[in-house]
Amino acid sequence: MSHRFRRFGAALLSTLAAATLTTVSAGVAAATPPGIPSEATARSELSGLTVRADGSMTGYSRDKFPHWITISGACDTRETVLKRDGSGVVTNSSCSATSGTWYSPYDGGSWTLASDVDIDHVVPLAAAWRSGASSWTTSQRQQFANDLAHPQLIAVTDNVNQAKGDKGPESWKPPLTGYWCTYAKMWTHVKYTYSLSVNSAEKSALTGMLDRC
C-alpha cells in the first residue's frame, strides 16, 4: 500500500487539478474528476482486487479521516472541488463560493447555490474502513479523504449524496443509469489505487455497470 501513497502523496496537496469539461444536455458544463481510467483499465484493475467479506466497523469514526483540509491559500478541499466542478464559480476572500452553477452527474440536477451541493467521496469513508482503511495511519486516511489527484471527490446534489450514505454499488447506484459506467470506473480505480478489497456482491455490481460502457 505504501508505495501507492508515495506515488500520489505530493499531488494530493497540489493546487486545483485540471478538470476535463463535458457538455450536458442542459447546456451546463460538468467537470470530470481527474484520473478516470478507460473501461479496459478498469476491468483489469477490478480483476486485480482482493475479494473478501467486508471487515468490521468497530472503531470507525469520520474523525479518523481528517477533512476538509487546506489546499491552497484560504481554500479547503470542499471549496477547491466546488470551484473545479462548477461553472462560472465566484468566490469571496474566504474562498467560499458566492455564485456559480453546478451540474450533478449522478442525477442530472443543476444548482446555483453551493449549499445545495455536497462533495461526495466516491468510495465512502466507512466503505474504505471496512475494506482496508482501518489499518491505515491517520495520515493515509487524510490523503484518502482529500484526494484531488484521483476520481474520489465529486460535486453532486446534496440529498442524492445523503441517500447514498456509505453504501457500495451493490446497494446504491447513481439515479442516472447513463452514469453507471463512469461511476464504476471511478469506484474501481479508487479501490485499486488504495489497495482496498471488494466483496463479491460489490464486484458483481461493478462488472454489470462496466457492461454498460
Burial 121-137 (b: 16+ CB within 10 A, else e): bbbbbbbbbbbbbbebe
In the chain, % of residues over pLDDT 70: 85
Q: Which 8-state DSSP code applies to residue 198?
A: B
The predicted model gives 191-208 an average pLDDT of 98
> Could you tell me how far CA 32 lies from the centroid of its own chain?
11
Domain ranges of the chain: 2-210
Residue pointed to by grid coordinates 465529486: 154
Would you place residue 32 in the very low, low, confident or very high pLDDT band (cuts 50, 70, 90)? Answer: confident
